[in-house]
Structure 1
Amino acid sequence: MNATRAIVRTRAVAGLALAQLRRSPGRTVLTVCAVTLAVLSVTVLASLGVGVVEKGEQGLDSADRDIWISRDPVDPAASGTENPVVGAHGMAAELTARDDIAGASPIAMYDVYVGTNESNLRRRPAVGVQETHEGFNFQSGGGFTVDREIALSPPPDEPRTSTLVLDPRTAAALNVSVGDTVHIGTSRQTASEYEFTVVGTSSYYSQYLGSPAMTVPLGDLQAVAGTSGTDRATFVTADVTADADRDAVADELAEVYPTYEVRTSGEQVEGMLEERSVVLASGATLVGLAIVGGVVLTANLFALVAHQQREELAALRAVGLSRRVLAGTIGAQGLLIGLVGGLVGLAATPLVVLGLNRFSAAVLGFERLLRTPLEVYAAGFALALCVGTVVALVAGWRAGRYARIAHLEQ
């Protein structure tokens, strides 16, 4: 009997909620839109936070290196202009000679000028590596490799290969393509001295440095920068052999090179995140504000909905309905509006993320910066459905307190 009464009461509450929503379609649509915006604010900002972390991890995974050696700290925001490792090629040769190291190579980063002539020189970050790899996803052309003996020998005073890979945006701005030549140098005056051939276009390093970056053979870049004598690099990276323990090798190298910071790939990701702690804290704050803002917005919405229905609620109270039924009526409206608004918000999320990713790739050079795992969609839907229903129930319960016959007489 009690179950039957509960079913009847539930059907009555649902019917009253639907009737109220149909009676004010404009208000219903606006409320659904507001819930949709609240959901989007959570899903988009959460996607940004997830993307930032995954981008850093992906970058190190693509580099396919087990150990990173440098001096701490390395400021990523400086576009690699600080190169703290001295004698990088010699260190790489020492590492490669070890039985537990499969191979090692340095990476250097400089800011250089690039252009076809003195009138169109542009300042861009340049990354010096021994070779390109499959992860570059070349838009045109290909990459370069350096002979193993040359890669481990001291850098030359003059460029050997004079080849480079340009970011597609830089290539378009300079109106050059694969096979054309450009001048690079660390100053406008020295750029005319060095002529390089474009062998490919790729935005691989651009998406990590945040601006259109070029990739140059390490020795050639050091020759252009005038640091061949000191052989400076930002990192020296190494791969351990299949039978070696990466953590144990890193500990041994830390004792061999006490003046340097030796990290595994996982520790390097953590170090990069720590150096960006302010940015990450800001991102976490934004996500928190989005959630709080969504809850506050939803609470205000349903408080307003309940207030605007005060005459209807007063009439229902006058015919004998309890506050619990009135609260259930508003709560059912919150459930329905949260369900529809949540589904619309989730459906709109991929489109918004796609647009923002295109904007990020075109303006900032970061491809697929926003990521949307299932957890992001779950968080947005939970906000709309659960929070919307709970807030509406509370608003409905409070509305029952002022639902009086006096409202019918006004």
Structure 2
Amino acid sequence: MTLSGAVVRLRAVVGLAFAQLRRSPGRTALTVLAVTLAVLSVTVLASLGVGVVDKGEQGLDNADRDIWISSDPVDPSASGTENPIVVAHAKSAEITARDDIQSASPIAMYDVYLGTNASDLERRPAVGVQETHDGFNFREGRGFEVDEETAATPPPEEPTVGEIVIDPRVADSLNVSVGETIYVGTSRQTADAAEFTVVGTSGYYSQYLGSPGVTVPLGDLQAVAGTSGTDRATFITADVTDDADRTTVANDLDEEYPEYDVRTSDEQVQSMVEERTIVLASGATLVGLAVVGGVVLTANLFALVAHQQREQLAALRAVGLSRRVLAGTIGTQGLVIGLLGGLVGLATTPLAVLGVNRFAASVLGFEGLLRTPPAVYLGGFALALVVGTVVAIVAGWRAGRYARIEHLEI
């Protein structure tokens, strides 16, 4: 075929495709909407899958610590951990004294009972740290900070700071706000012995604990738990100096403290990921379901479009048009509809992601759970444009096979 003949055929295919689209504006609009929904299913579910996989790594990155030391593999969602590291403050001070360590501090995790009335208490997970930081994204109020001298000494027998940061959902459940006091204890019988002032609301640790929790100065939490004498902690975290290599330092600490598991932040992420194969599988499954579901929906959509045009295709076949032209006509429709639906789907993705993220934050406590890297948008648009066009061409080719004169209405 000559170039001029190919151009004529292309113009004919495009003209027929647009004529078919204009002939049924309602069907065209519904088809564009269906493609938009297919794109949204891919982008939203893929964003959820990416967010599930990335959540643990982001948490450790936000903690901004180079080395993590623990006694046994620890599941952060298990708030009833036994806090196996003893004499944690002394060990932290010993590690901090090294020339290649900038600072080290312990972290403890307990279950506590809290409430405004000693006879009406709620059980919540609590995390004990030396200080809060900017990554907490406080909804209201502020955080707390323990001075260096207090942080370096063994915990006291009684709480000394008396401040607490609570999840906004805990605040709503207890009907308390910043500035009010609540009872805190590790049992219902001892909770009325210690009062804490709510200084801020934040769901920072809740998203890693798996339920709404609270954050308390480490020494105060140990005093409430009655472990000041043994000085128990779940982790000891450390930052290396600027001129030190964290892998080398971690290896040195591993040799010096063989009774502990010493990991760099990257190794800690890997360890947590290995212990969460279900989470990883869930994230990968969501991405896979998004792609497969989008392809199936798009294929069925354009097969239906071709089926609805069988009389028009039969008429075109009767006047001598080839199956190739008919397939090109349906394929061009798929390209146009995929382009429009893809653009609308990508434009509405940020709104859908924002809505789901707000729901996840308010109900589950997960901030920014859905992630939309460029690959998510690219995948959604590729589904609409490439898959839509290819599927439409195949549907048009198959429809042309069955486009016969007997399908025409007499």
TM-score above 0.5, yes or no: yes
| Contact 1:182 1:197 survives alignment (8 Å) | yes
Counterpart in 1 of 2:233?
A: 233
Tell me which amino acid in the other structure corresponds to 2:300: N
> Mind listing any 5+ residue stretches in structure 2 that lack a counterpart?
none
Post-superposition shift, 1:224?
0.8
Corresponding residue for 2:34? 34
Please state how far the C-alpha of 1:408 moved relative to its aligned partner.
2.3
1:55 is aligned with what amino acid?
Answer: K
SS at match of 1:220: helix
Residues 137-152 of structure 1 mapped to structure 2, 5 A cutoff: 137-152=137-152
Match of 1:259 in 2: 259
Determine if contact 1:311/1:403 at 8 Å carries over to the other structure: yes
Contact preservation (8 Å) 1:120, 1:174: no
Residue 58 in structure 1 maps to residue 58 in structure 2: yes
State the shift of 1:283 in Å. 2.0
Partner of residue 6, structure 1: 6
Contact kept, 8 Å, 1:47 with 1:371, in 2: the verdict is yes
Aligned 8 A contact 1:80 1:108 in 2? no
Give, as a single letter, the amino acid of the residue that structure 2 aligns with 1:315: A
For residues 300 and 199 of structure 1, the distance between their equivalents in structure 2, rounded to whole angstroms, comes to 56
SS at match of 1:281: helix
The 3-state SS of whatever aligns with 2:295 is: helix
| Range with bigger deviation, 388-397 or 171-180 | 171-180
> C-alpha separation between the residues in 1 aligned to 2:157 and 2:74?
26
Partner of 1:382: 382
Residue identity in the other structure for 2:235: F
70-79 or 43-52: which moved more?
70-79
Comparing 59-68 with 194-203, greater Cα deviation is found at 194-203
* Structure 2 SS opposite 1:188: coil
Residues 46 and 72 of structure 1: is their aligned pair in 2 closer, same or farther, counting only changes over 3 Å? farther
Q: Partner of 2:313 in structure 1?
A: 313
Q: What residue in structure 1 maps to residue 105 of structure 2?
A: 105
Alpha-carbon shift at residue 114 of structure 1 (Å) = 1.0
Q: Is residue 336 from structure 1 mapped to residue 336 from structure 2 by the alignment?
A: yes
Could you tell me how far 1:409 is from its partner in structure 2? 6.0
Percent identity, please. Answer: 78
Write the distance in 2 (CA, Å) between the matches of 1:143 and 1:409: 76
Instruction: Determine the structure 1 residue equivalent to 2:167.
Output: 167
Partner of 1:43: 43
Pick which of 91-100 and 165-174 moved more.
165-174
Say which is worse superposed, 225-234 or 122-131, in terms of deviation: 225-234
AA aligned to 1:158 is E
Where does residue 17 of structure 2 map in the other structure? 17
Asked if structure 1 preserves the Cα contact closer than 8 Å seen for 2:184 and 2:196, the reply is yes
2:244 — aligned with what? Answer: 244
Q: What's the CA shift for 1:192? A: 0.9
Deviation for aligned residue 1:204: 2.0
CA distance in 2, matches of 1:306, 1:164: 64
> In the aligned structure 1, how far is the partner of 2:269 from the partner of 2:80?
17
Aligned-residue offset at 1:29: 2.4
Given that residues 76 and 208 in structure 2 are in contact (C-alpha distance below 8 angstroms), is that contact kept between their aligned partners in structure 1? no
What TM-score comes out, normalization by structure 1 length? 0.95
Answer whether contact 1:74 1:82 (CA < 8 A) is retained.
no
Where 1:327 maps in the other structure, the secondary structure is: helix
Q: Cα–Cα, structure 1 residues 197 and 408, in superposed 2: closer, same or farther, change >3 Å?
A: closer
**C-alpha separation between the residues in 2 aligned to 1:106 and 1:298?**
53
Matched to 1:111, the amino acid is D
Aligned-residue CA RMSD (Å): 1.7
CA distance in 2, matches of 1:28, 1:239: 60
Aligned counterparts of 2:254 and 2:50: Cα–Cα separation in 1: 32
* Residue 358 (structure 1) aligned with residue 358 (structure 2): yes
* Count of equivalent residues: 410
Deviations 1:125-173 (A, max 9, x none): 1110011122223233322222223212222222122221222232233
Q: 3-state SS of the aligned residue for 1:77? A: coil
Letter in 1 for 2:118: E
**Secondary structure of 2:233 counterpart:** coil
In the alignment, what sits opposite 1:288?
288
Residues 66 and 246, structure 1, Cα contact 8 Å, conserved in 2: yes
Amino acid at match of 1:181: T
Do residues 399 (structure 1) and 390 (structure 2) align?
A: no
In structure 2, the CA distance between the partners of 1:364 and 1:9, relative to structure 1 (3 Å rule), is same
2:346 touches 2:381 (CA, 8 Å); kept in 1?
Answer: yes
Shift of 1:26: 2.8
Q: Is the 8 A contact 1:80 1:234 kept in 2?
A: no
Of the structure 1 ranges 42-51 and 322-331, higher mean CA displacement relative to structure 2 is found in 42-51
Residue 183 of structure 1 is matched in structure 2 by 183
**In 2: Cα distance, 1:69 partner to 1:19 partner:** 69
Out of 45-54 and 127-136, give the one that drifted further. Answer: 45-54
Cα displacement (A) at 1:337:
1.1
Q: Which residue of 2 aligns with 1:78?
A: 78
Assess, with a 3 A threshold, how the Cα gap between structure 1 residues 122 and 237 changes in structure 2: closer, same or farther.
Answer: same
Q: 1:272 corresponds to which residue?
A: 272
Residue 131 of structure 1 aligns to a residue in which SS?
Answer: coil
Q: Which amino acid in 1 is paired with 2:324?
A: R
80-89 or 382-391, which deviates more? 80-89
Mapped partners of 2:396, 2:82: distance in 1: 61
The one-letter amino acid of 2:305's match is: V
Cα distance in 2 for residues equivalent to 1:146 and 1:297: 57
For residues 49-71 of structure 1, the C-alpha deviation after alignment (integer angstroms, 9 at most, x for no partner) is 22234432332222121000113
3-state SS of paired residue (1:102): strand
The residue type equivalent to 2:206 in the other structure is S
Any gaps of 5 or more consecutive residues in structure 1?
A: none
What is the rounded CA distance, in whole Å, between the counterparts of 2:320 and 2:181 in structure 1?
87
